[in-house]
Amino acid sequence: MEFKLTVEPDGPEAVPVRKRVVLAEPRGFCAGVVRAVAMVERALEVYGAPVYVRKQIVHNHHVIETLERKGARFVESEQEVPEGAVCLFSAHGVSPEVREGSAARRLEVIDATCPLVSRVHQHARRVTRDGRVLLLIGHEEHEETEGTRGEAPEATIVVESADDVDRLELDPDTPVAYLTQTTLSMDETAGVVERLKSRFTDIVSPATNTICYASQNRQNGIKSLIGRCDLVLVVGSRNSSNSLRMVDVARDGGVAAHLTPDVSHLDESWLSGVTSIGVSSGASAPEILVGQLVDRLAELGYTDVEIDVTSVEDVTFSMPTQLATADAATAGGP
């Protein structure tokens, strides 16, 4: 064990100060991300390179770069995919319009949409078929929000805050329903939901919580860390909504926190006066990046590592039969 020696102002005695890292658990890949990444890798085995992926399969730069080296090609639109080629939809889901465009190009579609996101799409279709206006709590430009809104764009309004609710040009007795983007936080959405329920007299809530279990578990882990640590570092890419929410949760709890895409983004000035560092990672961040950060912190004197377990995840999502039973020797590739 290493110590930081400090001098008490009233005497020359050196006081040992323990420097430690507290690792949150669970952290990192959720079941939906594990499934989506495995689907790209399996598609490469079955069809051969290249296979095309609409948008980033998950929001993590390391994952994307790794899959690109294996032969995946990431594009912004299905219109960029050669006709008849293999195209995977990302874990964030797509709109019916994208599915129609893919069919028109005769693409071999492999849908890696997270099952939890698919459930949100089902809710969206059901409530809008019932003639309700869907109030979708989420971030306007996020891919998941774009896909869900696309289920019924003429009947869907995106709201990001309680103030947005106040600006809605709808009568209080308008039949409405609400859903949430899966990667938000319960704390973040609670005020919006409360405002919606006070604003509208005929409002339908989702049958089940639509915030992803993994997002909530990782946020709960952050809440546990802030009671034990001087600083929180969240490993995750800058376009990862759930990772950004984790940073927000820590800061809202009064603890300094930073998003750290990888170890190269660690700013050692953050560590000044810090004796305990909480480390976690977003649901799309691979464990190798956490390990590299912890190794670097050890080099800087934070050699004690503790594990803080707040829940145990045992959720798994199976790979679709389309890939699971495919034979690479006989698959009809592009």
Any idea which residues carry the catalytic annotation?
144
Pair 73, 52: CB distance under 8 Å: yes
Q: Enter the DSSP assignment of 255.
A: -
129: Cβ contacts below 8 Å, ≥ 6 apart: none
Query: Nearest Cα to 186, choosing from 129, 245, 131, 103?
Result: 245
| CA–CA–CA angle 173, 179, 182 (5° rounding) | 165
Q: What is the CB neighbour count within 10 angstroms for residue 283?
A: 32
Q: How many CB atoms lie within 10 A of CB 241?
A: 25
Task: Give first-to-last CA distance, the chain, whole Å.
Answer: 57
Q: How far apart are CA 89 and CA 39, in angstroms?
A: 10
